[in-house]
A = this chain, B = another copy of it.
Amino acid sequence: MLSKSTNVFWHENHVLRADREARQGHPTAVIWFTGLSGSGKSTLANELDWRLFERGVSSYVLDGDNIRHGLNGDLGFSPEARTENIRRIGEVAKLFADAGTIAITAFISPYREDRDKVRALLDRDEDFLEVFVEAPLEVCEERDPKGLYKKARSGEIPEFTGISAPYEAPLSPEIVVNTSSDDVATCVDRIIDVLAERGYLPAE
């Protein structure tokens, strides 16, 4: 179902989001992970992406690895920079959803207002699935995969979420997973179940 529109000069063809979704065999959405550093967001996001790929779903992970060194390499970690960071990620996630790909984002995204703005930005309310990755600060700090908590405690890193900058947990996330009590597979299973219930997976 491709649609035609006309401009003053030429007929113009546009492939619509619905066309892309129809071809992919599944609707698109933005799956937005949020949680403390070390809570497991990126690990869960990539495992989810892998599982979706295996099921024929078109998805893609936006995380620190491909965003903070690229598109948002010009941004620091002040409150303003964090807000701009999330704004841009939200805009890019929206483009992916429009292009027929489920965007999976894995960023601390500590401010509730910033996340809610992304939700409001999307075309449909149901396009935004917020996944709260719950893990106690003590557990995250114990893991400290990149040694960041140590640097934050020593003052080498200022404005570190959970230590010297706030983290605002979601009030009504679509999905909650707890990586201190459940393993990766269990957490991803839960997310997959919700996606299946909501019709985001193609028939197997």
Contact = CB atoms under 8 A, between A and B. Distances in A.
A9 B43 contact: yes
A145 B8 contact: yes
How many copies of this chain sit in the oligomeric assembly?
A: 2
A7 interface: yes
Interface residues of A, number: 39
Interface stretch (A87-95, A151-159, A195-203): A87-95
A62 B95 contact: yes
A146 to B, nearest CB: 9
A43 B12 contact: yes
A47 interface: yes
Contact of A71 (B40, B60, B91, B184): B91
Given A43-B12, A60-B99, A92 B71 contact: yes
A101 interface: yes
A12 B101 contact: no
Contact of A50 (B2, B9, B92): B2
Interface in A46-63: 46-47, 49-50, 53-54, 58, 60, 62
Interface stretch (A13-21, A109-117, A168-176): A13-21
20 contacts: A7-B43, A7-B145, A9-B43, A9-B145, A10-B43, A13-B47, A13-B49, A14-B46, A14-B49, A14-B50, A15-B49, A20-B53, A58-B58, A60-B95, A60-B98, A60-B99, A62-B95, A92-B92, A96-B99, A100-B101
Given A2-B54, A71-B95, 5 more contacts: A9-B43, A15-B46, A19-B53, A70-B95, A71-B92
Query: 6 nearest interchain CB pairs?
Result: A13-B50, A60-B99, A71-B91, A70-B91, A15-B53, A10-B43
